[in-house]
Amino acid sequence: MTRFFGFLLIPFALLPMALSGQVFQDKSAVLQKQIRETKGNLVLPAGEYHLSRTLDFDLSKLAASSIRCEGAVTLVMHGAGPAIRMTGTHEGTAGPDTFKPETWKERMPLIDGLEIVGAHPEADGIELIKTMQATITRVAVRKARHGIRLYERNRNVVIANCHLYENSGVGLYLDRVNLHQINVTGSHISYNRQGGVVLRDCVVRNLQITGCDIEGNMPGDATPTRAANVWIDLSAQEEGTSVAEVSITGCTLQHSANQGRRAVLAPGGANIRIVGRPEYPVDTVTIGNNVLSDTSLSVDIDYAKDVVLTGNNFFTSMPQDLVVHRSERVLVNGNSFNPRQDWSVGGIVFRDSKSCLFSNNTVHGFRDPVAAILFERCINSRISNCILTDIDHGIVMRDCQDCSVDNTHVDPPNQGGEKIDISAASPPKPLFRDPNYHGSCDPEIVWNAHEQEWWIFYTARRATRETATYVGTPIGVVSSKDLANWRFLGYVSFDGMEGKPDMPVTFWAPGIINEGDYYHMFVTYKDSAEPPWGGKGVIRHYRAPAKDLLKGWTLVDVPSFTQPDPIDATLIKIGDQYRVYYRVAEGGGIHWATTRDLSTWQNQGRCPGDINLAPDKGGFAYQEAPFVFHWRDKYWLLTDPHEGLAVYESSDGVTWKLQGQILLEPGNGPQDNTRARHPSVAVMGDRAFIFYHVEPNRPYPTPPAEQRTPHEKISFLQMAEFTVEDGKLSCDRDAVIQLPAL
């Protein structure tokens, strides 16, 4: 200690640290001094050591280093950064001729037999930079950010018998690292919320993950995610990054999605997610002898080649077991696919891929609403020697070239249809089902000019919940370039409120129109998620730039539409005037309003003509969900009277004449066996396509909402094509749609 002008100066290492009311001695400086004095060979007696700064091992000054513990040792990291950092100087490859003499002096730094606990939101466990033969064994890291991080460059790393558990970031993080040869064995890597083993924008060769339990490495709530238990991610398009020569063998990979029938955890999470790039697909991967279960998607492969999946057991996937996209030479052989739980879905998809083989596999109990196995736009690929049992739908091949199915048994599909269907491009039936609560309703299809895609915005009912099905609902989005292949994009965010499967407020039935560089949404809003219906609502006006129709919606105003409880807005522009049509509660019927600026509305009252006729005058007792469009020199307005769909025509969009009803009788397609509900229409020149939802298990007469079972509340989106016969609009929902080239 030193006295200076009457003050007593105390070395920082002896200053106390406070945590949750307790006082600890900071050992950072003391231990750093020992590292220097022992030339990097740190021996820690049993005990708990509190750190405010990283313990740095500069191998160029220390030579070969190690941390060895005499008994149970815990390092508590109170500062940002890693508790332990080892930095070497190796700039070569794994080849002996690239080693400098000083590299061998730094060889095989060891960390063994300790626990690291994070006590700071940016505290990490261990960081390795430019090391050779680093070996980490019998180490636990928990409550930190990242468990173990490899950065810049490393070679010949061994991580064995470790526990990387409940960290806010990544368990084992290969972060923009150039790394050849790494073995990860016998370890538990679990509940790290941004991924288990993650390779991001790396140059990596020879990664072996063997005999590990890797589970729950994604959000523990309903937050949508891309995280995965093993995640190879080259999507940032950084120059020079590539990953090849990977094996994942003898592991259990699971959680979190389906731990209960109605649980919704980490939607979008995967067990294994491989994302390459067109110029550098992930290359030469073996996934073998693993047990994979209980995630939204078990194995997700995009831009990869020479991938083998063999001897794996897949179960409890929600909704899909395997998706292969834009890949080559993917061999799936000798695996078992069985959802096992009666509420799981199960499905296999190959899309835009070539030279792939799906062989010698068993598939049981798949409930995917389109196909047990779906091949789309694939080239030179085969399904052979497989057995498919107790499936809802069979094998479907669409727009494929030189693809075949041979020597394969397929049970008669539970939902009808062909065992094996090889056909041209046409939309699936059903078109879509929400991946979380399976309640897809109230579609609104719009052309996204920025993305050059069709987007469907829909109400995501929480159908598989026992209660509060119709409230707390977000607006979901799916997209397609060709109307045949649809991709789920997530849920709309409003004013920064992130869209999730469970919302604290209620959004229903969006109506959307484009004006210049912006899109305008008029959506039913209720400031409640209280069942059954959330109380009175309003129609809110939101606006989003064309470039961000998922997250960019901001509130403009609440138009003064006729009360009470207006819902289900639909919009059209006629000349320089915008018109909105909507339903008003308590017998109010279908109303309309006009504006020239989408802000100052003039309520015009009940729509003239036949729309609001009383039942004894040939009208309907109830109608909702109006949809207006122009096609073949007429204005058309559809409504949903719960008796199929009512069709009205008009020459001016003001006075409406009833034509009749369509889509009341059940169709024969999968999940299209009941009356159509809540329409939307896409006009493409001389063709027009209707989009609607169906509740195939809903009984009629219908019991009160909260008395229906989840099975009765599930809903799907469907698609059909309009025709006009003798001036009347008609629709054959069973007709095969041959889509135009888009």
Token couple for 547? 């470039």
For residues 607-636, give the mean pLDDT. Answer: 95
Q: In this structure, are residues 519 and 528 in contact, taking their beta carbons and an 8 Å threshold? A: no
Tens-place pLDDT, residues 54-84 = 999 999 999 889 999 999 999 999 999 999 9
More confident residue, 155 or 9: 155
Intervals of CATH 2.115.10.20 along the chain:
439-731
Quickly tell me which residue has 């790394």 as its tokens: 179
**C-alpha distances in Å from residue 405, one per residue of 370, 585, 652:** 17, 54, 54
Read off the pLDDT of residues 153-169 as tens digits, 9 standing for 90 and up. 999 999 999 999 999 99
Give residue 328's pLDDT: 97
Is the pTM higher than 0.75?
A: no
* Closest by Cα among 578, 512, 588 to 543: 512
> Are 609 and 657 a contacting pair, CB within 8 Å?
yes
**Predicted confidence (pLDDT) at residue 581 exceeds the cutoff of 70:** yes
d(CA 648, CA 87): 75
Instruction: Please choose, from the candidates 544, 545, 524, the residue with its C-alpha nearest in 3D space to the C-alpha of residue 535.
Output: 524
Mean pLDDT is lowest, of 10-24, 419-433, 509-523, for 10-24
**Of 146-160, 445-459, 480-494, 535-549, minimum mean pLDDT range:** 480-494
Any residues with CB less than 8 A from the CB of 371 and at least 6 apart, and which? 347, 393, 394, 395, 396, 421, 428
pLDDT of the residue at 263: 57
pLDDT at 102: 79
Tokens 């030479």, located at residue = 329
Average pLDDT over residues 441-468: 94
Phi, psi (rounded to 5 degrees) for 382: -135, 145
pLDDT digits (tens, 9 = 90+) for 666-723: 998 889 999 999 999 999 999 999 999 999 999 988 888 778 888 899 999 999 999 9
Residues forming a β-bridge with 521: 512, 542
Report pLDDT for 98.
Answer: 78
Percent of the chain with pLDDT over 90: 74
Say whether pLDDT at 12 is over 60.
no
Residue 2 in this model has a pLDDT that exceeds 50:
no
What local confidence, expressed as pLDDT, does residue 264 receive?
A: 65
Q: pLDDT tens digits for 537-561?
A: 999 999 999 999 999 999 999 999 9
Topology classification of domain 439-731: Tachylectin-2; Chain A (2.115.10)
Interval 175-234: pLDDT, tens? 999 999 999 999 999 999 999 999 999 999 999 999 999 999 999 888 888 999 999 999
Q: Which CATH superfamily is domain 193-200+219-423 in?
A: Single-stranded right-handed beta-helix, Pectin lyase-like (2.160.20.10)
Q: What is the pLDDT of residues 20-32, one digit of tens each?
A: 556 789 999 999 9
Predicted pLDDT at 308? 99
Kindly report the CATH class assigned to 15-192: mainly beta
Q: Is 74 exposed, middle or buried (CB count within 10 Å of its CB: 0-12, 13-18, 19+)?
A: middle
pLDDT digits (tens, 9 = 90+) for 86-118: 999 988 777 787 777 777 888 999 999 999 999
Residues of the chain with CATH 2.160.20.10: 193-200+219-423
- The per-residue pLDDT for range 373-393, each reduced to its tens digit, is 999 989 889 999 999 999 988
- Over range 736-740, report the average pLDDT: 76
